[in-house]
Amino acid sequence: MTSVFETLLDEIEILSRSGRDLPEILSDVCKLLKDNVFHYDWVGFYILDQQNSVLVLGPYCGKPTEHIIIPVGKGVCGQVAQSLKLKIVQDVSQESNYIACSLDVQSEIVVPVLINGQFVAEIDIDSHSPAPFSVIDENFLSAVCNLLSPLF
């Protein structure tokens, strides 16, 4: 993992122990990631509304989106909620179940937040760069989600 990601993980760990409200912490995490990782152009959390089987947009940083509610199973975010597995789409134009948030988005990574194997939320990151995501992003964002999961 790069030193930038290691530093960000340290900052997120401090945030996770701050005792502040979850939405404030998630908002700060979004800002940290968007401001410090060049290819993270939109960073947000979708939180599961289990009763209605939908994802509800939580804190985010980036251009506003009209996708504030996503059914589980629909789009990349809904697929991750259903499969409980991280998903990278290096070219969103090739994804048949993609929900377009912006014409600028070229790629996306979505990582689930799990508690005891149960899906509770996910971090969604859009990039305006073509195919920028690597195993380093996967490992870093998985570590971020693991740090945050006890807060849900």
Q: Does 3.30.70.141 match the CATH number of domain 3-38+45-151?
A: no
pTM: 0.94
pLDDT at 147 (0 to 100)? 96
pLDDT mean over 26-51 = 97
Write the burial class of residue 52 (CB in 10 Å: 0-12 exposed, 13-18 middle, 19+ buried).
exposed
* Band of pLDDT at residue 71, cut at 50, 70 and 90: very high
Q: Pick the closest to residue 33 from 127, 100, 115, 119 (CA basis).
A: 127
Q: What is the mean pLDDT of the chain?
A: 93
Q: Where are the domains of the chain?
A: 3-38+45-151
Give the closest residue to 149 by CA, choosing from 141, 73, 135: 141
Q: How confident is the model at residue 2 (pLDDT cuts 50, 70, 90)?
A: confident
- By C-alpha distance, which of 24, 45, 63 is closest to 110? 45
> In the prediction, which pLDDT does 102 show?
65
pLDDT tens-place string over residues 98-119: 666 666 889 999 999 999 999 9
